[in-house]
Amino acid sequence: MQEKTHHRICPLCEACCGLEVRTEGARVTSIRGAADDVFSQGYLCPKGVALADLHEDPDRLRTPLLRRDGELVPCSWDEAFAEVQRRLPPVIARHGRDALALAAGNPVAHRFGLLLYFARLARACGSRNLFSASTLDQMPKQLSCGLMFGHWLSVPVPDIERCDWLLVIGANPMVSNGSLWTVPDFRGRARALRARGGRLLVVDPRRTETARVADEHLFIRPGTDVHLLAAMVHALFEEGRVAPGRLAAHLAGIEPLRQAVQAFTPERAARRCGIEAGEIRRLARELAVAPRGCVYGRIGTCTQAFGTLASWLVDVLNALTGQLDRPGGAMFPEAPAFAANTQGSPGRGRGITTARHASRVSGAPEVYGELPMTCLAEEIETPGEGQVRSLITVASNPVLSAPGGARLARALGRLDFMVSVDAYVNETTRHAHVVLPGLSPLEESHYDVAFPQFSYRNQARYSAPVFEPAAGAPAEWQTLLRLGAIVMGRGADADLQALDDELLAAELRRQFGDGAGAVAESLKGLRGPERLLDLALRTGPYGDGFGRRPQGLSLAVLQASPRGIDLGPLAPRLPAALRTPSGQVELAPPTLLADLERARLDLDATPPPLVLIGRRDVRSNNSWMHNLPTLAKGPERCTLLVHPQDAQRAGLADGGRARLAAAGSELEVGVEISDDMMPGVLSLPHGWGHDLPGSRLHLAAQRPGVNLNALLDERLRDPLSGNAVLGGTAVSLRAG
């Protein structure tokens, strides 16, 4: 049989590597990094190779499942949608729109059709009870950037190819491959930075894989980044090093900011965060004098009680030192499609609004249209008007990925009706009444809707499916559209093409008014996500403008360039990229200054003696890749890292067992003694605990690991963003 070579973007993590997939007939013969990909130049990680395992995994669902006599059994697509039609609309009719909740998980951001059509499904549902992985992850950064720059996705990223001083706080891109920063081959780019004389510094409670390739690593006490960062800002003012340069005309709030950080002297912050005052001052000074410097913070700085404040202060530091929007500093990518900060009038906008409503039970504010994932269980449990009685999950496994999973699992068991659009029967979807699987990623086309907004270079890449899907299997965008049709009262056998045309026509009318008809005509022949992509590209900043710029981008141009199109290094975009009402970078948004008072009160708090943080592993991805043979092999990954002093105190031996307790739960786990840990800090990865009955993950169940999130208190959130607190949890430890 003839071997074929396909160029394919990996849809598994934010690095978005270009892969070369070789096939023979229906079989994958090899997966390598595509050396000629304009963006990733041959890089890949073991998960990219495991796409072949995912394609072939016998546990990956190929047909819908329907609950009959308590058990999920295979059924036809027609039967599955008929069941949804029979059971979902009555719940809404009887109890209102908010009685149907939606939960979107991490892969939604990585699947072309899912991301574009989840938005349509959510609009069709019109429920306030919208939950996603964002509130287990990056909502604090989105909120702080929204307040400062005017849009939730205007997140500056390090311009690593030109940077010569990079401070990484609470991120481990050597393992995670970058987040809110699309940077395939971080290792190679970090090595190049150092080779040209630059310095890489890491602040983390663990000496991570990234710390090991850095020039310097500083331990920080978990959850105290706000103090370090506020003290660095304090030091800049104190030493007269506030020098925003070209940006000065575009910054609002410098004076209120100076006053707000006055209490955060490096000396006070040092006692709280564990980094000496002299070091805090030195970090601030080095950032200020670096010709091309940048601070980058990620999940460690978000998933904590002061997540929004810490995320904000990272960008404040870049702005005050003139490193924001400067080559080699923190820059705004210009995405070729779907980016709000390339649409509308440049330089000014409506800004963002939060708290348009609040969660019913805890009163947590709405942020970016969502409520905190950690509120889902109580919204199902608590009777009254607006109680959640039915749920649609899309690529979401909160029973493992969110704190309070055991409680949530019990709550899911009480729902009137639950539908899961998912690839597996896992810890969450085992509770569904209907499970609707998607295609293998190799059977779907791909374009990264979100990640060009966070890319280290501007780029555009599209890949076609590698394999034809099985006959009759809908793509996930079609499944979401059909669910939308049911919720909108169009019925399970609505004409999807007509519905899709109608939704598009309404959007075109909003965008183009009288010109809508002509635009629709130009998009003829395309459908679904491809049609939306063509529209977004052609009207985007590099687009052909439907003929006005004949050299510009369109889907056809991308299809003719499978290795991608490089759109050049990041270029300064301020003030044009701003969408704040003032047209300025808001350095001192009042809500953040008010919240800083909460941090000030925490300055002299006494830290608990022993706290727990999370960890990622290259051969794992959150909760769902433990069933793939090439990733599952090798040493046990769900282990507890313990500093030698803490091990000695608790009487633990390397390779022995420990019992870890918090929040009324106790876990038994294997121990690795490691002086990579800060004393008093333990590390355990998340996404494990595959021993729950009813899941169908046969390989994962052989080495289930334990669920870190069982030890976390789901009531702990960053009050501004609603993000869960996932680190710094006080725990007790004893030999197992």
Q: In the window 87-106, what residues touch ligand MGD (CB under 6 A)?
A: 105-106
721 belongs to the binding site for ligand MGD (CB under 6 A): no
13 belongs to the binding site for ligand SF4 (CB under 6 A): yes
Strand 18-24: give its sheet, edge to edge: 3-9, 18-24, 27-33
Q: Name which of 39 and 688 has its Cβ closer to ligand SF4.
A: 39
Question: Looking at 1-9, 159-167, 517-525, 621-629, which segment touches ligand MGD (CB under 6 A)?
Answer: 621-629
Residue 712 CA to residue 592 CA, distance in Å, equals: 26
* CA angle in degrees (0–180, nearest 5) for 448-352-346: 70
Q: What is residue 285's three-state secondary structure?
A: helix
> Least CB distance from residue 665 to ligand MGD, whole Å?
13
Interaction partner, residue 15 (Mo ion, ligand MGD, ligand SF4, none; CB < 5-8 Å by kind): ligand SF4
> Least CB distance from residue 542 to ligand MGD, whole Å?
28
Question: Looking at 13-21, 269-277, 328-336, 551-559, which segment touches ligand SF4 (CB under 6 A)?
Answer: 13-21
Q: Compute how many other C-beta atoms are within 10 angstroms of the C-beta atom of residue 4.
A: 12
Question: Looking at 12-20, 413-421, 549-557, 564-572, which segment touches ligand SF4 (CB under 6 A)?
Answer: 12-20
Give residue 165's identity as a one-letter amino acid code: W
Q: Name which of 44 and 708 has its Cβ closer to ligand SF4.
A: 44
Map residues 132-161 to x or -, x wherever contact with ligand SF4 holds by CB under 6 A.
------------------------------
Strand 657-662: give its sheet, edge to edge: 729-730, 611-613, 681-683, 640-642, 665-673, 657-662, 732-735
601 Cβ partners below 8 Å, 6+ apart?
none
189 belongs to the binding site for ligand SF4 (CB under 6 A): no
Q: What is residue 86's three-state secondary structure?
A: helix
Q: Name which of 334 and 448 has its Cβ closer to Mo ion.
A: 448
Q: In the window 121-140, what residues touch ligand MGD (CB under 6 A)?
A: 133, 136-137
User: What region, left, alpha or beta, does residue 323 occupy, with left being phi > 0 and alpha being psi -120 to 50 degrees?
Assistant: alpha
Question: Looking at 42-50, 199-207, 510-518, 586-594, which segment touches ligand SF4 (CB under 6 A)?
Answer: 42-50
Answer yes or no: are the C-beta atoms of 510 and 480 closer than 8 Å. Answer: no
Which of residues 6, 7, 8, 17 is near ligand SF4 by CB under 6 A? 17
Q: In the window 48-87, what residues touch ligand SF4 (CB under 6 A)?
A: 48
Q: Name which of 426 and 584 has its Cβ closer to ligand MGD.
A: 426
Q: Token match 């909760």: residue?
A: 623
Give the CB-nearest residue to Mo ion. Answer: 137
Answer yes or no: are the C-beta atoms of 459 and 182 closer than 8 Å. Answer: no
Q: Considering CB under 5 A, how many residues would be counted as binding Mo ion?
A: 1
Residue 368 CA to residue 361 CA, distance in Å, equals: 19
Helix or strand run (H / E) with residue 634: none
Q: Name which of 16 and 708 has its Cβ closer to ligand SF4.
A: 16
Q: How far is CA 81 from CA 432, 433, 481, in A?
A: 14, 11, 12
Which of residues 28, 280, 708, 733 is near ligand MGD by CB under 6 A? 708
Give the CB-nearest residue to ligand MGD. Answer: 300
432 belongs to the binding site for ligand SF4 (CB under 6 A): no
Q: Name which of 95 and 703 has its Cβ closer to ligand MGD.
A: 703
542 belongs to the binding site for ligand MGD (CB under 6 A): no
Helices (H) and strands (E) in the chain, counts: 26, 29
Q: Which two tokens stand for residue 619?
A: 């051969």
Interaction partner, residue 184 (ligand SF4, Mo ion, ligand MGD, none; CB < 5-8 Å by kind): ligand SF4
446 Cβ partners below 8 Å, 6+ apart?
8, 9, 11, 111, 112, 462, 463
Q: Which two tokens stand for residue 447?
A: 């374009």
Which of residues 66, 153, 183, 220 is near ligand MGD by CB under 6 A? 220
Q: In the window 133-192, what residues touch Mo ion (CB under 5 A)?
A: 137
* CA angle in degrees (0–180, nearest 5) for 565-566-569: 160
16 belongs to the binding site for ligand SF4 (CB under 6 A): yes
Angle between helices 590-602 and 139-149 (to 10 degrees): 130
Which of residues 127, 144, 177, 420 is near ligand SF4 by CB under 6 A? 177
Give the CB-nearest residue to ligand SF4. Answer: 48
Q: Which two tokens stand for residue 281?
A: 């001052």
Q: In the window 394-453, what residues touch ligand MGD (CB under 6 A)?
A: 394-398, 401, 421-424, 426, 438, 441
Answer yes or no: are the C-beta atoms of 574 and 332 closer than 8 Å. Answer: yes
Which of residues 7, 8, 111, 360 is near ligand MGD by CB under 6 A? 111
Q: What is the DSSP letter of 304?
A: S
3-state SS track over 377-408? HHHHHCCCCCCCCEEEEECCCHHHHCCCHHHH
> Least CB distance from residue 356 to ligand SF4, whole Å?
35
Answer yes or no: are the C-beta atoms of 135 and 722 closer than 8 Å. Answer: yes
Q: Considering CB under 6 A, how many residues would be counted as binding ligand SF4?
A: 12
44 belongs to the binding site for ligand SF4 (CB under 6 A): yes
| Closest CA relative to residue 667, chosen from 636, 716, 708, 704 | 708
Which of residues 323, 463, 622, 723 is near ligand MGD by CB under 6 A? 622
Q: Token match 């295609």: residue?
A: 439
Residue 491 CA to residue 488 CA, distance in Å, equals: 8
Q: How far is CA 201 from CA 218, 265, 275, 634, in A?
A: 8, 22, 13, 31
Which of residues 478, 623, 639, 721 is near ligand MGD by CB under 6 A? 623
Q: Name which of 182 and 341 has its Cβ closer to ligand SF4.
A: 182
Q: Name which of 13 and 331 has its Cβ closer to ligand SF4.
A: 13
Question: Looking at 39-47, 297-305, 391-399, 704-712, which segment touches ligand SF4 (CB under 6 A)?
Answer: 39-47
Answer yes or no: are the C-beta atoms of 191 and 213 closer than 8 Å. Answer: yes
Answer yes or no: are the C-beta atoms of 456 and 183 closer than 8 Å. Answer: yes
661 Cβ partners below 8 Å, 6+ apart?
667, 711, 731, 732, 733
> Least CB distance from residue 708 to ligand MGD, whole Å?
5
Interaction partner, residue 16 (ligand MGD, ligand SF4, Mo ion, none; CB < 5-8 Å by kind): ligand SF4
Question: Looking at 31-39, 200-208, 257-265, 460-468, which segment touches ligand MGD (CB under 6 A)?
Answer: 200-208
261 Cβ partners below 8 Å, 6+ apart?
230, 231, 233, 234, 237, 596
Exposed, middle or buried by CB within 10 Å (0-12, 13-18, 19+), for 354?
Answer: middle
- Please give the residue ranges that form the binding site for ligand MGD (CB under 6 A): 13, 105-107, 111, 133, 136-137, 169-173, 175-177, 179, 203-206, 208, 220, 222-223, 225, 298-301, 304, 394-398, 401, 421-424, 426, 438, 441, 476, 613-614, 616-618, 620-624, 686-687, 708-709, 726-728
- Please give the residue ranges that form the binding site for ligand SF4 (CB under 6 A): 10, 12-13, 15-17, 44-45, 47-48, 177, 184
- Please give the residue ranges that form the binding site for Mo ion (CB under 5 A): 137
